[in-house]
Structure 1
Amino acid sequence: MKQLTINIIYLFMALNLFACKPAKKGEQLKLDWQPGVNAPKHYPIETIFGSFSNGERGCGITTGICQYGGWGLGGKEMSSGHFVPNKLTLGWFSYAEDKFYKGEFDLPADTMQALFKQGFTGREGTHFRYNYLIVNAYPKGGVALWMDVGGSRIVEIAHFQGEEMEYNWKSMYPYTTDTRDELNEFVMQQAKGSLEYIAQHGITQEPFKTIFRQRYSYTIALDSVQHNKPLYIMAEFFNGEMDTMHGEELEHNFFKTKAVTKYISFQWVKDRVVYYGKVYFEPKEMFDLFAKMSAECPDEAYVMHLKPNYNTRKLTVTLSSSTQELEIQQTGKIGKSINQDDANM
């Protein structure tokens, strides 16, 4: 089994996990969020028009910029909203398909309002609000929406289906002398690897619409470490969600069901030393592993165990049910130590 090296850092850590504006505990939170729009890295888009609204107020989405930053990411914008939206309007051009799409989508406003109210409480007890609404457009008219607490927690809100529309392509490039085909080819070449990726995988809504969104009942835990000792576990998931768990949530995770894990970063304390590690997971192995566990243990919850070995400074990762334990092969980068001055904790 491949193993993840555990890296040691000293106790004194000034963790800056939550890059968003705090509100005083007990203070009524005022909504202040920014929209962001993006697309999977191999399927560039350009937004033609877009806004969030609630019938009385609106918040515009930036147009005229080619976007292919990556699945689940959002191009943060200067506009801001101070209301709970109930509608998303979007029109865009898909360079990979050479097609225009549009949609007017009803949002689950009650769910969004509950998340705005709930917010996120950091390890020091400071409360943070959801401050980004992230939109991604993917092939064949697909649209995804997430709410983001400044990089601490990202929650999938909904997926929508747009429809093709007729639009004057020349209005996007009124001064160009290139043809539509020439400009499309130029953009696709700028999105490095896209032509090769599409030649292999085609233009499809998968894995974004269904495969990435499969959910399972499992928790993530550090074995042999008391729940008050880990500082945090941060997990990113293939469906674009993310969670930073600490305190009670290390035992009772915020997401009761989760998509398949893409990346984990974590810190914990043992004998007055803070240990740190991170691991990226290989997609095919992880989806095969969860499918196997689901088929063989359909009515059980699982635990993804991070198991430290302090003698070898290695860490193994397994997915376990009450009846079996499956090994996960670590891939990707190894976490590096961050050295700080000695300090009491």
Structure 2
Amino acid sequence: MKKYEWLPESNAPELYPTYIHNGHFYLEDGSSVYIPTSGINYNGWGYTGSTHIQGEDLKALPVKMDITWASYIEKKFYTGSWDMPIDTLKKLFEKGTTAWRDGRISNYSDIRVGCAPGGVVVVWVYGDDQQIEVARFQAAETHVPLIEVVPTNPNLTLDEYFDVSKSVPEAYENIKKNGIQYDVWDIYRKKYNWRARVEIPNHKIVNVGFNMFNGEEETLFNETVKENAFRPRAIPKELGFIFEDNKKVQTVFEVKDFDEEEIFHLFNQADTLKPIEIVLRMSEDFSNRSLVFKNGDKEIPIRKIDFDNMWKYEN
């Protein structure tokens, strides 16, 4: 049985705060670690979140997990217990990761758990700017006595406990305006066969970083960026390019948060039988910047981004 240096983490969507009342990973060697939470979670779907140093430095991989949490916006508790995809985890950890900045060989450092409205639970493994979804589970509604959650306040009511109008006001305002989007977490998981590339005279791409709406992350560099293969990916939330000129001067262009409505419309209307690309174009002097959604011979400009979010890259 191999052991690795990793820690459990938890997260939740920015506008749908949660609190983990109780949760554990049960490891292959019979030990366990708890899934941490530090107050209310609303750090972002798939993002780094609550982390507590615990257990041995080297841990076996989890074969099972359970979790019970509060979903504040819904005013509900959820619970579930599932077998973990141990074969998938073993393959990933045995392969490990390579850091794109220095070529250091390491491994996945975090196993992250995300909880969302409707009882959705997603598990990712993260390491060196690479994050892969390994499981999607469905929890069931449950009842948890508030005295177990807040033992210091026996008079606390459910309405008082679940009120986030002051602690997370943006979540409170969103629910009044938009309601709860129960299906969005599975919509985010849909994948398309696509890639990203640049068209800049006398420049070559050296790095592409993807952050997807489904919480996955990917970084292409060295051989993978040279190959730049089409592969199944979820719709991008963020996208970063590093490219260099003939003098080895490197420049970064970063799309920090695509407009969700615009980018989903482009992918949803695409002909999936034809190649899909996101192409960054500009002149050699970096003028005439554009970002294009290319689907076969059809090209559509992506407009709702900051074209000035570009800078010289310093190692």
Fold-level match, TM-score > 0.5? yes
- Secondary structure of the corresponding residue to residue 257 of structure 1: strand
In the other structure, the counterpart of 1:36 is 9
Letter in 2 for 1:174: P
In the TM superposition, 1:304-323 aligns within 5 A as: 304-323=278-297
Equivalent residue for 1:195? 172
- Indicate the residue corresponding to 1:103 in structure 2: 80
1:240 is aligned to 2:240? no
Tell me the equivalent position of 1:180: 158
Number of the residue aligned with 2:99:
122
Distance 2:6 2:194 in 1: 31
The change in CA–CA distance for 1:96 and 1:339 in structure 2 (over 3 A counts) is closer
User: Are the aligned partners of 1:238 and 1:260 in contact in 2 as well (CA < 8 Å)?
Assistant: yes
Contact between 1:46 and 1:63, CA under 8 Å: does it hold in 2? Answer: yes
Cα offset for 1:142?
1.0
Structure 1 range deviating more: 123-132 or 74-83: 74-83
Distance in structure 2 (CA, Å) of the matches to 1:180 and 1:277: 47
Residue 87 of structure 2 aligns to a residue whose secondary structure is: helix
Residue 20 of structure 1 corresponds to which residue in structure 2? none
Structure 1's 206 and 226: CA in aligned 2 closer, same or farther, altered over 3 A? farther
Cα shift at 1:289: 0.4
Gaps of at least 5 residues in structure 2 are: none
Change (3 A) 1:232 1:304: same
1:270 is aligned to 2:255: no
Is 1:259 equivalent to 2:234 in the alignment? yes
2:255 equivalent to 1:279 = yes
**TM superposition shift of 1:78:** 1.4
Task: Report the Cα offset of residue 159 of structure 1.
Answer: 1.1
Alignment-derived partner of residue 5 in structure 1 = none
Match of 1:48 among 21, 44, 50: 21
CA 1:161–1:255 in structure 2 vs 1: closer, same or farther (change >3 Å)?
farther
TM-score, scaled relative to structure 1: 0.81
Tell me how far apart the structure 2 counterparts of residues 31 and 261 of structure 1 sit (CA, whole Å): 30
State the 1:193 CA deviation. Answer: 1.3
The answer as to whether partners of 1:305 and 1:317 remain within 8 angstroms in 2 is: yes
After TM superposition, the structure 1 = structure 2 runs for residues 1-345 of structure 1, keeping only pairs within 5 Å, are 30-54=3-27, 56-62=30-36, 65-73=39-47, 74-80=49-55, 82-123=59-100, 124-150=102-128, 152-176=129-153, 177-185=155-163, 187-208=164-185, 210-224=186-200, 229-253=204-228, 256-272=231-247, 273-280=249-256, 281-293=258-270, 297-332=271-306, 334-338=308-312
Percent pairwise identity:
27
Kindly indicate whether the alpha-carbon contact (under 8 Å) linking 1:278 and 1:334 is maintained by their aligned counterparts in 2. Answer: no
* 2:43 alignment partner AA: G
Letter in 2 for 1:262: K
RMSD: 2.4
Higher relative contact order (CA 8 A, sep 6+): 1
Query: For 1:268, what is the secondary structure of its paired residue?
Result: strand
Greater Cα shift, 331-340 or 99-108: 331-340
Q: How many residues align?
A: 306
Question: Secondary structure of the residue that 2:231 maps to in structure 1?
Answer: coil
TM-score (norm 2): 0.88
Deviation at 1:204, TM superposition (A): 3.5
Change (3 A) 1:303 1:52: same
* Structure 1 counterpart SS, 2:233: coil
Please, which moves more after superposition, 197-206 or 113-122?
197-206
For the Cα contact (< 8 Å) 2:3–2:61, is it kept in 1? Answer: no
Deviation at 1:102, TM superposition (A): 0.7
Structure 1 unaligned runs (5+)?
Answer: 1-28
Amino acid at match of 2:252: Y
